[in-house]
Chains A and B, each alone.
Chain A
Amino acid sequence: MNDDVPDDPIDDAFAARLRDQLVAVDLDAVTAARIRRLAHAALAGGPVRPRWRWVEATVGATLAAAQLVWAVSAVLGMYR
């Protein structure tokens, strides 16, 4: 598509320079501990209630749709 674009436009020197100039970041300890705890529970228990996930998703989507309809009708009602 573009003959003038090299196979790997990012050489090691540029990548290293960019990495050096990015702010070093990490999760805070509380969040990291929470994720580990939840993940270990998932590993121990296998899939989490797989039969109920579609029910939760359906109920969630229905509630969201109802809220949307309510919000739109409330706004329309203000201009009546």
Chain B
Amino acid sequence: MDADSEAAWVAGLRRGEPAAFDAVFAAYRARIYGYLARMTGRRDLADDLVQEVFLRLARRGGLLTADTRLGPWLFTVAHNLIVSHARAARVAQSLAVELGAAPTRHDPGPFEALAGNRAQLAVEAALAAMPPAHREVLLLCASERLSPAEAATVLGVRPDLVRQRLSRARAQIESALALDAAPTHRRSTR
């Protein structure tokens, strides 16, 4: 995303231009959707949340400052929606437990079934299994190429905490990929 395009889009959003919204939507919708689905573990919920992210952009576009960076702005809104949803889900879960409903189970990642090869499956499974705080910084910094400082702003934490989580998340992913690449002697001898 070059800075000139982004500045033009922000200017268009400040004027309420649908074409500017369409350009931002085309550039960011898959990225925001992937982030939301991997963080919530549910594609149907991600559909709803991505709608809310872009409706907020449409409603608040006129309030953006000229130097707004759209990536961090959109991911901040998405992160805040995830946090709000998680709070509501915790209340619902504690009520369900209180009322005798079955405990929740650990679901696979939202995109494991779509993996086209073993490496993709290993990465998606490792992402789904890692702590959400580690998963989130990895998605923001590695997949979306936000700097640790930008990710810290999105998440509302200190940059050194982001770097620490990133380091651990990277080790977890590399470990998962190494395990996947390791020869499976037992399987091959049968």
Binding site for B on A (CB under 8 A): 1-2, 5-10, 14-15, 18-19, 21-27, 31-32, 34-36, 38-40, 42-44, 46-48, 68, 71-72, 75
A53 to B50, CA, bound (A): 21
Contact assessment for A39 and B54 in the assembled complex, using a CB-CB cutoff below 8 Å: yes
Residues of A within 8 A of B58 (CB): 38-40, 42-43
Contact mask for chain B residues 95-118; partner A; CB cutoff 8 A; 1 contact, 0 none: 100111000000000010011100
Interface residues of B in 140-190 (CB under 8 A from A): 141-143, 145, 147-148, 160-161, 163-164, 166-167, 170, 173, 177
Q: Is the CB of B29 closer than 8 A to any CB of chain A?
A: yes
Interface residues of B in 37-74 (CB under 8 A from A): 37, 47, 50-51, 54-55, 57-59, 61
Instruction: Give the shortest distance, in Å, between A22 (CB) and chain B (any CB).
Output: 6
A25 to B141, CA, bound (A): 18
A7 to B164, CA, bound (A): 10
A25 to B39, CA, bound (A): 14
Instruction: Give the shortest distance, in Å, between B95 (CB) and chain A (any CB).
Output: 7
Residues of B within 8 A of A46 (CB): 16
Q: Which residue of chain A is the closest to B162 with respect to CB atoms?
A: A9
Contact assessment for A14 and B143 in the assembled complex, using a CB-CB cutoff below 8 Å: no
A42 to B59, CA, bound (A): 6
Residues of A within 8 A of B177 (CB): 21
- 20 more A-B residue pairs beyond the given contacts A18-B123, A22-B143, A39-B21, with a C-beta to C-beta distance below 8 A: A5-B167, A6-B163, A7-B148, A8-B147, A8-B148, A8-B163, A10-B142, A18-B173, A21-B123, A21-B177, A23-B111, A27-B50, A32-B25, A35-B50, A36-B25, A39-B25, A40-B18, A42-B58, A43-B17, A47-B59
Known contacts: A1-B160, A71-B99. The answer to whether A14 contacts B167 by CB under 8 A is no
Instruction: Give the shortest distance, in Å, between A58 (CB) and chain B (any CB).
Output: 17
Residues of A within 8 A of B95 (CB): 68, 71
Partner of B54, one of A7, A35, A72: A35
Q: Which residue of chain A is the closest to B170 with respect to CB atoms?
A: A9
Instruction: Give the shortest distance, in Å, between A59 (CB) and chain B (any CB).
Output: 17
